[in-house]
Amino acid sequence: MFSNPRHAVIAGAGIGGLTAALALHRRGWRVTVCERAPGPPALGAGIVLAPNALRAFDAIGFDVTRAAGHAVPAAMGVRRTGGDWLNRADTAAMAARYGRPPLAVHRTALAAALTAALPDGTVRYGVAVTAVERVDSPQGGGPVVRTPAGDLTADVVIAADGIHSALRRQYFPHHPGLRHSGETAWRTVLSCEGLPGLVAAETWGRGERFGVVPLADGRVYVYATARAPQGYAPADLRAELRRRYGAWHDPIPALLDRIDPAAVLRHDLYDLAVPLPRHHSGRLAWVGDAAHAMTPNLGQGGCQAIEDGVVLARLLDADGDVPAALAAYTRARHARTDAIRIRSRRAGRVAALTHPLAVAVRDLAVRATPAWAAQRAMDGLFGFSPA
């Protein structure tokens, strides 16, 4: 059907890059994914796929529950440190409103499933994209992608090179870059054997949070955040986590006892200080954190990357005008992703309050919000359709 498919080169094999690769492949493109890491990550964390991300996957025929193998409903409630609920997520109500509830899956399993759905050899590990040139060449010809393994030519290049995107810095050298949120996060996946009845929830303290997300394979994804300076890395992580969260409600103390510090991912939390002027330049487009890095407070970072990849592939019709399609991509995605970036920043400020009076007012407001109002507030996130 596609005798001479056009070539897309994607910088980065994260969730956004792999989604874009699969979406383009299923529209007849030849795809090469260049990933600087030597192989798939050895450590991983969970990801909660909201209904908007699941709907985007549906649009390209990717069944998460079948492909990734382990996905369970993960509507998140909010608790206080003593264990009482500020609100409880209604999985059935979310399914009725949005077609399905959020699903929790191991991030590495999702990446492996996306990779397996691509032709063998599509993803090239240990190959970093160092530069992209001639994206606007009036002489014709596609962009030239520089890598240590040799140059690649392409009809379109997709920068999915993450929050510290080198291609973003190359093409937007005057952009102020990232803004530190004032928080650090720790993430890991643990066995939940002997801990029955775990439910998905995030617990809010004073400037600290702890999340519990059961997975379907007998494990649980846990994460913690705390207000801390950039680069904060205590020498004894286990003691630090126990000091901060050890007196919180069950099952948090038991989960802390199971943590292997060597298997914990630590990241300072950032978002873009200001939005990029656009999400494209000629035949080069940015997706995911490279385009619109946001804090994880709404759980939408990966979900927006998935949306990006699906929308971009839909606009990049196999026989269409690439620069025009990428301009349309900016129009389709720029306002939505920036609004979510700002909303996530504001949500983080509320969740990370430290003053006792402010925390008390916050908790009262969350508890007093009717369930229907809380669900309606999420319509702008979860109601997205790639069409």
| Torsion angle of the four alpha carbons 152, 127, 307, 5, in this order, in degrees rounded to the nearest 10 | 30
The three-class DSSP label of residue 50 is: coil
105 and 46 Cβ atoms separated by less than 8 Å: yes
Tens digit of each residue's pLDDT, the chain (387 residues): 445 689 999 999 999 999 999 999 999 999 999 999 999 987 778 999 999 999 999 999 999 887 666 677 788 899 999 999 999 988 888 999 999 889 999 999 899 999 999 999 999 999 999 999 987 765 567 899 999 999 999 999 999 999 999 999 999 999 999 999 999 999 999 998 899 889 999 999 999 999 999 988 889 999 999 999 999 999 999 999 999 999 999 999 999 999 999 999 999 999 999 999 999 999 999 999 999 999 999 999 999 999 999 999 999 986 689 999 999 999 999 999 999 999 999 999 999 999 999 999 999 999 999 988 988 999 999 999 887
Region for residue 284 given its phi and psi (left: phi exceeds 0; alpha: psi -120 to 50; beta: otherwise): beta
Residues β-bridged to residue 38 = none
* Model confidence, pTM: 0.95
For residue 251, cis peptide bond before it (omega within 30 degrees of 0): yes
Give the β-pairing of 152-153 and 103-106: unpaired
pLDDT at 260: 95
Q: How is the beta sheet containing 280-281 ordered, strand by strand? A: 123-125, 30-35, 7-11, 156-159, 284-286, 280-281
pLDDT at 1: 41
The three-class DSSP label of residue 230 is: coil
Determine the Cα angle at 342 with ends 336 and 347, to 5°.
120
Give the β-pairing of 72-73 and 103-106: antiparallel
Q: List alpha helices for the chain, DSSP H.
A: 15-25, 51-59, 64-67, 91-98, 107-116, 166-171, 237-245, 252-257, 289-292, 301-315, 322-351, 356-368, 371-377, 379-382
211 and 223 Cβ atoms separated by less than 8 Å: yes
Distance separating alpha carbons of residues 80 and 75, to the nearest angstrom: 17
Q: How is the beta sheet containing 46-49 ordered, strand by strand? A: 46-49, 103-106, 72-73
pLDDT at 139: 58
Region for residue 379 given its phi and psi (left: phi exceeds 0; alpha: psi -120 to 50; beta: otherwise): alpha
